[in-house]
């Protein structure tokens, strides 16, 4: 093991090796823990949207929100045979590997650590990628693809900075592919990361712009190929994205262009502030006093790792980390370090470490750019970047000490934060029954896979599937979901969701969006489509208004199945009933009514335009 300083005896080396081994074991257990529970749980709303889009992305002419992530994950979904569990595991593994590689590159660039120690420490810091699954939305989504894309871009930038032709070529390829993936996930984030990369290159690599020009060319070529495969031309893809953006504005969910550039407040509490301050003080004391109090430091770090293992294996929740704390811990650590030796950390900073730290600092907000939710809360899913900002910023503090001593506290705290966030997600998964560990109902899913769900959710899906099959619903039958919140049901029934993968309810423009997105659908499909309704549900769409848009009425359907969705405390607390309506009109008559309704709508729009003139 390499040394950065003189050691009085072999005890410190033994302590380092012991702690590194314990940290490696902790990382492996965290990864295995999350991998095991990746087969648990399913969000009725959000994950149903993701799965419907991934399974059949080419069915939709408009995407609300404006994202193309379904096209990226469609091929892995096909390779997995439609098995959701396999897709989730692959996504977990990829994200964890990317976080590991990025952390390794940062450590090897700024710290004097041999590759084996760097591999162990970077794996521990990389475990913070697990925070991306906060709330236990574990099915790949546009949030997942955005995070994976940013990780790829940063790996590419660091590799392009390494000496050697191979590193530059590979780095430019990764930046280009990552930029393309970012566009497929969130165009707003893609535009922001393009600006970040430009500034990064201008500040640090004024004489080596060729690799990044190559990256831009790769991203452009991939985008052109994507446009041709999806919409037949670049014009078609642009039209799709414009219509999708217009649909978001029509929905009224707060995703307006005017609200993209905003500063949200960082919501926190006294307890979270206290936790963040204590953790930051502990990290700084470990760095500054580690060389003289090795035994005490080692015992403290070992105790923290044992607590981390207890959280993972026993499900205890002694900390309860909130999103704000994930930012405050590295922020307070960097702030406190600036007072050490009269600000020596600032005076000895290299330009590369400052620029990289600032880049990592803004990346979580770049990831959240364009969402309606609080940017801090969404950005906290990518908290690995904040911790890597601290890793880069603190590197001058240990120029005359062993880097392992300083990096171990950061690694151990990162593992503790990751374990606490994942544990909270398992105990309180969003939109599901509490405590996934108590789920026991093995549920067969499309593609031959299985998920472990809560018993009420399993019973709901099993009842709906049995009744729908008895009523004659076949695989691939078009269904219009007017319940507004249950797209996962359509996925389990293996039905084709018309209009959008999720006709979302609960917004002032939900009905208008449903009418607009059903407009491009073929009248033949609408004529034979079944309808899912939830008349008393809090998110249901206007049944009469939406049906009238394609020339249908309630009298044209008969209730073929009745079932009750599960009750989720805090999210969907009230029990209601859903009805699966089967069309009873002859298809030819229904098609004629659809065409007539659309003709009247076109005439109405023409008269409206003439009236404006």
Are both 183 and 81 inside the same structural domain?
yes
| Token pair recorded at residue 126 | 């990389």
Specify the number of domains making up the chain. Answer: 2
Residue 241 pLDDT greater than 70, yes or no? yes
41: left (phi over 0), alpha (psi -120 to 50) or beta: left
What's residue 291's pLDDT?
Answer: 61
Confidence of residue 4 (pLDDT cuts 50, 70, 90): very low
Q: Are residues 343 and 476 in the same domain?
A: no
- Please give the average per-residue pLDDT across 581-597, as a whole number: 93
Segment 201-225 shows an average pLDDT of 83
Q: How many CA atoms lie within 13 A of 250 on its CB side?
A: 20
- Is 50 exceeded by the pLDDT of residue 3? no
Higher pLDDT residue, 588 or 572? Answer: 588
pLDDT-derived band at 445 (thresholds 50, 70, 90) equals: very high
Task: Tell me the average pLDDT across 238-261.
Answer: 84
Instruction: pLDDT band for 610, please (50, 70, 90 cuts).
Output: very low
- Sheet with 530-533, strands from edge to edge, namely 496-497, 478-481, 530-533, 578-583, 557-563
CA distance 50 to 69: 9
Identify whether 295 is part of a domain: yes
Domain co-membership, 421 together with 553: no
Per-residue confidence band for 569, with pLDDT thresholds at 50, 70 and 90: low
Q: Is the pTM of this model over 0.85?
A: yes
The closest of 206, 205, 225 to 72, measured between CA atoms, is 225
Query: In this predicted structure, what is the pLDDT of residue 182?
Result: 97
- Residue (of 445, 429, 427) closest to 437 by Cα position: 427
Residue in 56, 24, 141 with CA at minimum distance from that of residue 479: 56
**Per-chain mean pLDDT for the chain:** 89
Closest alpha carbon to 174 in 139, 123, 212, 225 = 212
Q: What is the mean pLDDT of residues 41-53?
A: 94
Lowest mean pLDDT: which of 183-197, 221-235, 402-416, 453-467?
A: 402-416
Decide if pLDDT at 439 tops 70.
yes
Q: Tens of pLDDT along 288-315?
A: 776 667 788 888 899 999 999 999 999 8
* Among the listed residues 26, 131, 14, the one whose alpha carbon sits nearest the alpha carbon of residue 382: 131
**Half-sphere exposure of residue 305: CA atoms within 13 angstroms, side-chain side:** 25
Residues 404 and 512 in one domain: no
Cα–Cα distance list, 469 to 37, 463, 475 (Å)? 30, 10, 9
Looking at residue 281, its pLDDT comes to 93
Q: Which of 385, 410, 427 is the last residue of a domain?
A: 427
Q: Which of 63-77, 190-204, 205-219 has the highest mean pLDDT?
A: 63-77
Answer for the pair 22, 302: CB distance below 8 angstroms, yes or no: yes
pLDDT the model gives residue 384? 97
**387 shares its domain with 505:** no
Whether residues 223 and 338 fall in one domain: yes
Higher pLDDT among residues 212 and 159, named by residue = 159
pLDDT of residue 6: 41
**Res. 398 pLDDT band, cuts 50 70 90:** low
pLDDT at 522: 93
Q: Are residues 375 and 464 in the same domain?
A: no
What's the pLDDT at 43?
Answer: 93
In this prediction, residue 7 carries a pLDDT of: 42
Residue 316, in any domain of the structure:
yes
Q: Is residue 3 part of a domain?
A: no
Among 366, 392, 427, residue at a domain's last position: 427
pLDDT at 277 over 90: yes
Mean pLDDT of 577-586: 94
What is the mean predicted confidence (pLDDT) over 203-223? 82
3-state SS, 32-72, equals HHHHHHCCECCCCCHHHHHHHHHHCHHHCCCCCCCCCHHHH
| pLDDT reading at 5 higher than 50 | no
Examine the domain organization and report whether 483 and 414 are in the same domain: no
Do 170 and 59 share a structural domain? Answer: yes
Instruction: Kindly report, residue by residue over 54-112, the tens digit of the pLDDT.
Output: 999 999 999 998 999 999 999 999 999 999 999 999 999 999 999 999 999 999 988 88
Dump the DSSP string for 83-121.
-HHHHHHHHHHHHHHHHHHHHHHHHHHHS---HHHHHHH
Mean pLDDT of 363-380: 92
Residue 384 domain boundaries: 11-427
**Across residues 199-210, what is the average pLDDT?**
73
| Domain match, 25 and 62 both | yes
**Is 382 a domain residue?**
yes
Give strand pairing partners of 559: 581
Q: Which residues of 368-396 are buried (b: 16+ CB within 10 A; e: fewer)?
A: bbbbeebbbbbbbbbbbbbbbbbbbbbbb
Distance CA 155, CA 174 (A): 7
Whether 5 is in a domain gets the answer: no
Is it the case that residue 421 has pLDDT exceeding 60? yes
């Amino acid at each position: 093991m390499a040394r950065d300083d003189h050691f009085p005896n072999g005890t410190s080396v033994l302590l380092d090796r012991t702690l590194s081994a314990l940290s490696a074991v902790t990382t492996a257990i965290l990864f295995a823990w999350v991998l095991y529970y990746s087969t648990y749980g399913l969000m009725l709303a959000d994950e149903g949207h993701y799965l419907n889009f991934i399974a059949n992305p080419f069915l939709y002419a408009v995407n609300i929100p404006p994202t193309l992530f379904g096209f990226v994950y469609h091929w892995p979904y096909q390779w997995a045979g439609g098995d959701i569990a396999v897709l989730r595991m692959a996504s977990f593994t990829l994200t964890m590997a990317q976080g590991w590689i990025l952390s390794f590159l940062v450590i090897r660039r700024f710290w004097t650590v041999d590759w084996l120690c760097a591999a162990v420490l970077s794996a521990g810091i990389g475990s913070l990628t697990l925070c991306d699954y906060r709330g236990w939305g574990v099915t790949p989504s546009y949030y997942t693809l955005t995070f994976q894309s940013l990780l790829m871009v940063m790996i590419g930038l660091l590799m392009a900075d390494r000496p050697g032709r191979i590193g530059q070529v590979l780095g430019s390829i990764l930046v280009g592919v990552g930029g393309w993936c970012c566009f497929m996930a969130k165009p707003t984030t893609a535009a922001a990361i393009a600006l970040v990369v430009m500034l990064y290159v201008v500040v640090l690599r004024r004489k080596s712009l060729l690799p990044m020009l190559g990256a831009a060319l790769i991203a452009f070529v991939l985008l052109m190929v994507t446009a041709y495969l999806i919409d037949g031309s670049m014009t078609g893809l642009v039209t799709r994205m414009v219509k999708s953006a217009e649909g978001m504005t029509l929905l009224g969910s707060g995703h307006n262009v005017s609200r993209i550039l905003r500063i949200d407040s960082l919501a926190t509490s006294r307890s979270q502030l206290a936790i963040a301050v204590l953790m930051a003080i502990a990290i700084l004391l470990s760095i500054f006093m580690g060389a003289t109090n090795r035994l005490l430091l080692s015992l403290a770090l070992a105790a923290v790792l044992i607590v981390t293992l207890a959280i993972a294996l026993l499900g205890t929740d002694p900390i309860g980390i909130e999103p704000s704390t994930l930012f405050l811990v590295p922020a307070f650590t960097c702030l406190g370090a600036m007072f050490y030796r009269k600000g020596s950390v600032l005076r000895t900073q290299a330009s590369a470490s400052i620029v990289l730290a600032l880049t990592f600092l803004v990346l979580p907000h770049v990831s959240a750019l364009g969402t309606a939710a609080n940017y801090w809360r969404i950005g906290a899913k990518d908290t690995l970047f904040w911790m890597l900002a601290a890793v880069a910023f603190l590197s001058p503090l240990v120029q005359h000490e062993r880097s392992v001593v300083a990096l171990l506290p950061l690694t151990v705290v990162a593992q503790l934060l990751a374990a606490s966030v994942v544990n909270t997600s398992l105990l309180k998964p969003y939109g599901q029954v509490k405590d996934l560990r108590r789920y026991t109902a093995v549920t067969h899913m499309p593609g031959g896979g299985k998920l472990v769900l809560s018993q009420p959710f399993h019973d709901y899906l099993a009842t709906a599937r049995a009744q729908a099959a008895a009523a004659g619903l076949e695989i691939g039958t078009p269904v219009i979901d007017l319940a507004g919140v249950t797209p996962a049901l359509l996925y389990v029934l293996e039905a084709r969701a018309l209009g959008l993968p999720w006709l979302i309810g609960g917004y002032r423009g939900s009905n208008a969006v449903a009418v607009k997105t059903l407009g491009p659908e073929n009248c033949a499909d609408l004529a034979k489509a079944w309808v899912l309704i939830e008349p008393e549900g809090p998110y249901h769409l206007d049944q009469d208004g939406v049906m009238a848009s394609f020339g249908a009425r309630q009298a044209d359907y008969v209730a073929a199945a009745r079932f009750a969705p599960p009750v989720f405390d805090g999210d969907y607390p009230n029990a209601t009933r859903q009805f699966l309506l089967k069309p009873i009109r002859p298809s030819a008559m229904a098609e004629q009514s659809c065409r007539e309704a659309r003709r009247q709508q076109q005439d109405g729009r023409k008269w409206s335009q003439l009236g404006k003139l």
